[in-house]
Amino acid sequence: MKVCEVYLRCGRPVAARRGPTVSACKFWYDPRSMLNLFSGGVSLTPVGRPAGPWGLAGGARRASIWVAAAAAVVVGGCGGGAPGHSGPEPVPDAVEAPTVHDPRRAEVVGVAAEGDATLRAIVLLDPHDEIDVPLPEEQPVMDQIGRQFMPGFILVRAGQTINFTNSEDELHTVHVKNSAGESLFNVASMNGSSYTHTFEVGDDFTVVCNTHTEMFADIMVVETPYAVVADREGAFTMADVVPGLYTATVILGTDRRQREVEIVAGRNEIDLTDI
């Protein structure tokens, strides 16, 4: 799996960075493959519960702004030096997810609310029955390069580990706080360093560098087994879904809507534009 990068953080445009061209990638989770919103920083394979005691609702609302922020892009590499100033790059459309390989599983092809160049809908499927969906095997990476966190937004499932690295010749810190403003950890980061942390609880986390205050990023940890960021037209696909009853949640900006859906083996086409 790969890690993705987004062009918008918490509703604030991010200047275009220097470096090689990146290619668009889907933001989805699946038992076999994983995490882009978009394969480079945010990709989804099983992910977290739409709402809960940890208050995912607020985080998810912000996340849909991130992923507008969110339809992340595959990070092929980053150029050195200070970030460019050519303005925010447009968010690429999500690519189509892989087809279903297990005939006992389902493929969900649907449409949610339309987004725009900077805002995309997030779709969550929360099962009514307990199901066992393994955590993704590949480990997402948040790098520090050009005085930026790359990617600027990562979405993971509770229980996943993120690797924090530094690819430039500057001393940074990785300071992560939860939604209550409590410090989770604060470590120094130098060129070539690596620090891993497992996020056990669903919540919204902010990442800052104490040395360079212009550096910040966001991490969203969820507990629902399936989630995806729709493309600009609201289209989305989820593969290898366990059949059953689900609560479908669509989050677009601060708007959050839900509806019950039944998923059966094979291809499922659902319209969530009317909720």
For residue range 198-227, list pLDDT tens digits in order.
Answer: 999 999 899 999 999 999 998 988 889 988
**CA separation for the pair 78, 106 (Å, rounded):** 37
Reply yes or no on whether the pLDDT at 141 is more than 60.
Answer: yes
| Torsion of the alpha carbons at 174, 15, 84 and 16, rounded to the nearest 10 | 100
**CA separation for the pair 222, 258 (Å, rounded):** 17
**CA separation for the pair 217, 248 (Å, rounded):** 27
Q: How much is the pLDDT for 101?
A: 67
Strands 141-145, 161-165: parallel, antiparallel or unpaired by DSSP? parallel
Average pLDDT, rounded, for the chain: 74
The strands making up 266-271's β-sheet, listed across from edge to edge, are 235-241, 106-111, 266-271
Coil, strand or helix at 101: coil
Q: How much is the pLDDT for 155?
A: 81
Other residues' Cβ atoms within 10 Å of the Cβ of residue 38: 39
Can you give the residue range of the structural domain that contains 106? 4-271
Reply yes or no on whether the pLDDT at 172 is more than 80.
Answer: yes
Q: Tell me the mean pLDDT in the region 255-260.
A: 94
- Residue linked to tokens 């919103």: 37
Q: What tokens does 155 get? A: 């979405």
Q: What tokens does 275 get? A: 């909720």
Q: What is the CATH number of the domain that holds 266?
A: 2.60.40.420
Q: How much is the pLDDT for 261?
A: 97
**CA separation for the pair 65, 185 (Å, rounded):** 25
Q: Who contacts 213 (Cβ-Cβ below 8 Å, separation ≥6)?
A: none
How many structural domains is the chain composed of?
Answer: 1
Reply yes or no on whether the pLDDT at 99 is more than 80.
Answer: no
Reply yes or no on whether the pLDDT at 71 is more than 80.
Answer: no
pLDDT range class, residue 102, cuts 50, 70, 90: confident
- Rg (the chain; Cα; Å): 17
